[in-house]
C-alpha cells in the first residue's frame, strides 16, 4: 500500500475531490507530487497529507494552520532543537484542539437545548 502510486485523477477519486483540488493544494505547497513528463504522480505520503489537509478543512482550520500542522510531521527527528520546537508546537496544538473540543461540546449542548425547547413549543402549538 505504501508503494502505491496514483495519477491525479486516481487520487482525486480515492479522496472524493477533484483533480483541480489537488492542483490547488500543490500551488499552496501543501503537497509536492513528482512529475513524469507532464503527469503528476502521487505517492502514499501525498495521499496521507491530502487526508490530513481535507480533515483540517472539514474542521475549520485555515490553510496556514494546516501548513503548520503538516510541518510538524516533516520535522527531522535527528535534530534536538527541531524536536524541542516540534514538541512545543504539538503541545500548543493539543491545547488549542482541547479548547475547541470543549467549545464544540458546549455549543452542541446549547443547540440541543434549543432543539428540545422548540420541539416542545411546536407540540403545544400544533393541534393533534
Confidence of residue 12 (pLDDT cuts 50, 70, 90): very high
CATH number assigned to the domain covering 1-60: 1.10.1660.10
8 within 8 A of 40, measured Cβ to Cβ: yes
Indicate the pTM of the whole model.
Answer: 0.67
pLDDT at 78: 75
CB atoms within 10 A of CB 109: 10
Mean pLDDT of 111-128: 92
Provide mean pLDDT across the span 72-95: 77
pLDDT score at 81: 74
Q: Phi and psi at residue 99, in whole multiples of 5°?
A: -65, -40
Q: What is the pLDDT of residue 128?
A: 67
Q: For 43-75, what is each residue's pLDDT tens digit?
A: 999 999 999 999 989 888 889 888 888 887 777
pLDDT at residue 83 is higher than 80: no
Cα–Cα distance for residue pair 53/46, rounded to 1 Å: 10
DSSP string for residues in 36-59:
ETTEEEE-HHHHHHHHHHHHHHHT
Render pLDDT for 37-48 as a digit per residue (tens, 0 to 9). 989 999 999 999
Q: Residue 48 and residue 31: Cα distance in Å, rounded?
A: 10
Amino acid at each position: 500500500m505504501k508503494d502505491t502510486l496514483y495519477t491525479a485523477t486516481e487520487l482525486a477519486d480515492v479522496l472524493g475531490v477533484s483533480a483541480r483540488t489537488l492542483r490547488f493544494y500543490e500551488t499552496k505547497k501543501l503537497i509536492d507530487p513528482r512529475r513524469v513528463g507532464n503527469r503528476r504522480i502521487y505517492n502514499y505520503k501525498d495521499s496521507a497529507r491530502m487526508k490530513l489537509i481535507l480533515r483540517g478543512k472539514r474542521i475549520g482550520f485555515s490553510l496556514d494552520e494546516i501548513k503548520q500542522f503538516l510541518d510538524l510531521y516533516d520535522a527531522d527527528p535527528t535534530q534536538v532543537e527541531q524536536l524541542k520546537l516540534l514538541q512545543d508546537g504539538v503541545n500548543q496544538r493539543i491545547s488549542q484542539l482541547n479548547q475547541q473540543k470543549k467549545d464544540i461540546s458546549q455549543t452542541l449542548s446549547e443547540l440541543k437545548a434549543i432543539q428540545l425547547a422548540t420541539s416542545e413549543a411546536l407540540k403545544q402549538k400544533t393541534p393533534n
